[in-house]
Amino acid sequence: MKATIHHKNQTLSIDLSQPIDISIPLSDTENPLAWYLEKPEITPVRSEDWVGKVSEGGDVNFNTITFNPHAHGTHTECVGHITEKVYSINKHLTQFFFTAELITVAAEPRGEDFVISKKQLQYDLKGKNPEALVIRTIPNIDEKKTKNWSHTNWTYIEEEAMVFLRRLGVKHLLVDVPSVDREKDEGELKAHKAFWNLEGNIRMDATITEMIYVPHQIADGRYILNLQIAPFENDATPSKPILYKIE
């Protein structure tokens, strides 16, 4: 099914029958973990004479799910993640289709760390200014879909690089690690603060999506992003970002 999108004086064509799902599903068996939490729990409701599981004699499957959006898979967050007043992602993300650029980045060593720098982003973007930027880090191993990220000191984005993206006009940033900041940074959160411009005119409609997975065979380049979220009144929510190749 073909669709034509009119966007900022451009007419773009996509094939809706060819979605590229870059989310990681939430599961209680194989699931990525971060921030020192255990795996999510998906359990049937039980009472004295009833169970919410058809295979155990119940009339329906009726599960309670316990999870943390920041620690248990693909999630999208707004500035409410780092402000005293908790702003809702559901209220502040009000548009869902964006032009997006997918780039693959090999992080640079910085002592014991690996970082994504402004210089790398400038080189990979080559003057482009997409609304959304999707960053796939190398090595792009399948383990990202089930990895326990706690105590791994993952790749993060330098503050200067985030200022560059903000000034470029990138509103939606998607990464395949648990956070754009260093795992243990003493609460400085420099990358988050720079992207949302916390010390200036705060970008209430900008989002960061973390713990995505972009398969190897998906080529770098320009796409349309459909950023789907669950309607939670919270700073962050599970999300399902979908890319469509522009024809």
Q: List, in order of start, the domains of the chain with CATH numbers.
A: 2-26+68-245 (3.50.30.50)
Region class of 119: left (phi > 0), else alpha (psi between -120 and 50), else beta: alpha
Region class of 208: left (phi > 0), else alpha (psi between -120 and 50), else beta: beta
| Contact call for residues 33 and 144 (beta carbons, < 8 A) | no
Mind listing the pLDDT tens digit for each residue in 144-154? 999 999 999 99
Mind listing the pLDDT tens digit for each residue in 60-90? 999 999 999 999 999 999 999 999 999 999 9
Residues 60, 155: Cα–Cα separation, whole Å: 43
CA end-to-end span of the chain:
13
Cis peptide before 238, with omega less than 30 degrees from 0? Answer: no
> What backbone phi and psi angles, to 5 degrees, belong to 123?
-65, -45
Mind listing the pLDDT tens digit for each residue in 21-62? 999 999 999 999 999 999 999 999 999 999 999 999 999 999
Mind listing the pLDDT tens digit for each residue in 187-239? 999 999 999 999 999 999 999 999 999 999 999 999 999 999 999 999 999 99
Please state the separation of Cα 183 from the chain's center in Å.
16
Residue with tokens 């996509």: 14
Residues 128, 243: Cα–Cα separation, whole Å: 18
Q: What's the pTM? A: 0.96
